[in-house]
Amino acid sequence: MQNQLASNWNRARILIVGDVMLDRYWFGEVNRISPEAPVPIVRVEKREERLGGAANVARNTASLGAGTALLGVTGDDEPARVIDTLLGEMGISSHLARDASISTIVKLRVIGRQQQLVRIDFEEAPTDTVLRDKLTQFNSLVGAHDVIVFSDYAKGSLVNVAQMIAAARQLGKRILVDPKGDDFSRYAGASILTPNKSEMVRIVGQWKSEDDLTARAQKLRAELGLEALLLTRSEEGMSLYRDGDVQHFPTMAREVFDVSGAGDTVIATLAVMLGAGASLVDAVAMANRAGGIVVGKLGTATVTREELLEG
């Protein structure tokens, strides 16, 4: 059954919209403490650049073979050119607007002895003019895709998400959202939201029991008019809330090394499965498997078809 579904992954057409970033990793040796301050000295020996944020979601859908398009905003700078190159290498259709007045979002992680020592973020919100152009571009792209994924990192690229969801819903598209912030009402009308545990607490408050969580989750799902709400719960796995039904998926992680980007892999796998015609339960089961694999890797990473289908 899984192999039959995998043969359809190439047919899935996914449009990813959101905050596009470049993840930079500097790896080095740590042999002494600085005489200037009580911090380790890292002698950088290797550098890596990876697609981050919404671009990492695109990287994940493309690695599974789905036709992938990415809509977002970058600066007009060197990191933006690196992102363009990386997208091209993966065959991702790039629809990135260049905003010369801002810098591309960059997350620089310094790694020593296989541990992250510091992360340095460079970011600015895009301008209103570029965001208006992006909404027009979205309306021209949405019709050609099966599943629309909104990857919200609260960096300013999705201020028009409510209008985008309305346009996609009118065309009958499956709409997936990885949400952020204290107000999920702007995601009303989406098909599926995929909050993690801390994001859920911010919206519905701390629950006292599993029954209490189910009641709060179902209330939120109904208020937002969602088909389903998928709560990712780290070591507790995932819980899928649908009308009158809740289903739990135990964690598949064999070893947790790095959780950064795990939510990107989960929503990407979910999108590819749904775009290939899988049932929601089968799609969540595969996304859960993908999340369990990717947390065993360093940094923002992807899973392959072979990893997902083995066993």
Catalytic residues: 264
Cα of first residue to Cα of last residue in the chain, in angstroms, is 13
Beta sheet of 115-122, edge-to-edge order: 40-53, 20-33, 105-112, 115-122
CB 267 within 8 A of CB 194: yes
CA 121 to chain centre: 18
User: 26 by DSSP, 3-state: which?
Assistant: strand
Q: Measured between alpha carbons, how far is 135 from 131 in angstroms, rounded to an integer?
A: 6
CB 61 within 8 A of CB 84: no
Count of alpha carbons within 13 angstroms of residue 163, beta-carbon side: 11
Tokens 């596009």 sit at which residue?
Answer: 20
Which residue intervals of the chain are DSSP H helices? Answer: 2-6, 54-63, 78-89, 128-141, 161-170, 197-204, 210-224, 262-275, 280-294, 305-309
Q: Please, what's the largest Cα pairwise distance for the chain? A: 62
Q: Measured between alpha carbons, how far is 122 from 272 in angstroms, rounded to an integer?
A: 31
Q: Measured between alpha carbons, how far is 114 from 10 in angstroms, rounded to an integer?
A: 35
Q: Measured between alpha carbons, how far is 118 from 120 in angstroms, rounded to an integer?
A: 7
